[in-house]
Amino acid sequence: MTYTKRKDKRKMDETRPIIAKVGIIPNAKGSASFTIGKTTAYAAVYGPRELHPKFLQDPKTGKLRCNYNMMPFSGTGERIRPGPSRRSKEISMVTQNALASVMDLSDYPNTVVDVFVEIPQADAGTRCAGICAASMALADAGFKMKDIPVSIAIAVADNKTVFADPDYAEETLNQTGEAEHVADIAVTILPRTGQVTHLQMDGMVSKEKLFEALEMAKAVTKKINETLKVALKEQFKVEASK
């Protein structure tokens, strides 16, 4: 059985509708929200502030620290247990690594910049939505960045059909019998250069299908980047008019 027609009639390289907003939390140094389909992520940036304990400080530069959290009733499936979990710690580290390579915090030695990502509503693709929200929030905060990282999930059904931004129903095609195996590839890309700063894969695909998925991710992230830039430009216009 081959998955050839998407449940919501999207094209294979088409994402769910996207809404991006910047400057949504007044007391944060930078903030943003990123909604893709029924998945929403909020990000808030605080700092730079002195890093404690002091043995973690770097006299040459500041450090980026990310915290990812899904709210208890955000998930499509069972209720999320409150508090840190192994999954939330993993995604916090993934988010930090995906963003750190574009940051220049050399003007803030011995400090830390904290990014908090909250997921109030989830329908797959939460880590990618969180990275997009955090990326915009850091740009809103005014830190030096080489690029605005954009993250997206690409799925491969039965090592045949490659499609972008799967929702929960598509992530679980193997559970409904519509596909035998679904691989999920989360990737973060710098739109200007095509450089990959984060790649995770759940499942197995051939080398050819992996390359096809990465090419689709590059094209899709370029389109998403245009949406992010519009949101940032609108915020800068608001700030300039004050």
Rounded mean pLDDT, 91-118? 95
Beta bridge partners, 111, equal 50
Between 72 and 198, the more confident residue is 198
Residue found under tokens 């500041």: 62
Beta bridge partners, 155, equal 163, 184
Instruction: State yes or no: pLDDT of 240 exceeds 80.
Output: no
140 domain-assigned = yes
What pLDDT is stored for residue 78 in this prediction? 59
Distance CA 229, CA 147 (A): 11
What pLDDT is stored for residue 66 in this prediction? 96
What pLDDT is stored for residue 212 in this prediction? 96
40 domain-assigned = yes
Q: How confident is the model at residue 118 (pLDDT cuts 50, 70, 90)?
A: very high
CATH number at 140 reads 3.30.230.70
2 domain-assigned = no
Distance CA 10, CA 48 (A): 42
Between 160 and 77, the more confident residue is 160
Furthest CA-CA distance within the chain: 58
Rounded mean pLDDT, 212-237? 92
1 domain-assigned = no
10 domain-assigned = no
What pLDDT is stored for residue 162 in this prediction? 95
Domain hosting residue 206, numbered range? 18-241
Residue found under tokens 């499609």: 163
Instruction: State yes or no: pLDDT of 189 exceeds 70.
Output: yes
SS3 of residue 74 by DSSP: coil
What pLDDT is stored for residue 80 in this prediction? 65
What pLDDT is stored for residue 1 in this prediction? 61
Chain mean pLDDT for the chain: 91
High-pLDDT (> 70) share of the chain, %: 93
Rounded mean pLDDT, 5-32? 94
Instruction: State yes or no: pLDDT of 28 exceeds 80.
Output: yes
Distance CA 102, CA 118 (A): 22
8 domain-assigned = no
Q: How confident is the model at residue 87 (pLDDT cuts 50, 70, 90)?
A: confident
Distance CA 198, CA 102 (A): 12
Distance CA 40, CA 29 (A): 20
60 domain-assigned = yes
Please count the structural domains in the chain: 1
Rounded mean pLDDT, 112-127? 94
Q: Each residue of 61-98: b (16+ CB within 10 Å) or e? A: bbbbbbbbbbeeebbeeeebeeeeeeebeebbebbbeb
Identify the H or E element spanning 213. helix 207-241
Instruction: State yes or no: pLDDT of 13 exceeds 80.
Output: yes
Between 172 and 66, the more confident residue is 66
Distance CA 78, CA 75 (A): 7
Question: Residues 65-85: pLDDT tens digits?
Answer: 999 998 877 666 655 666 677
42 domain-assigned = yes
Question: Residues 122-141: pLDDT tens digits?
Answer: 999 999 999 999 999 999 99
Distance CA 142, CA 145 (A): 9
* Beta-carbon count within 10 A of 24 CB: 16
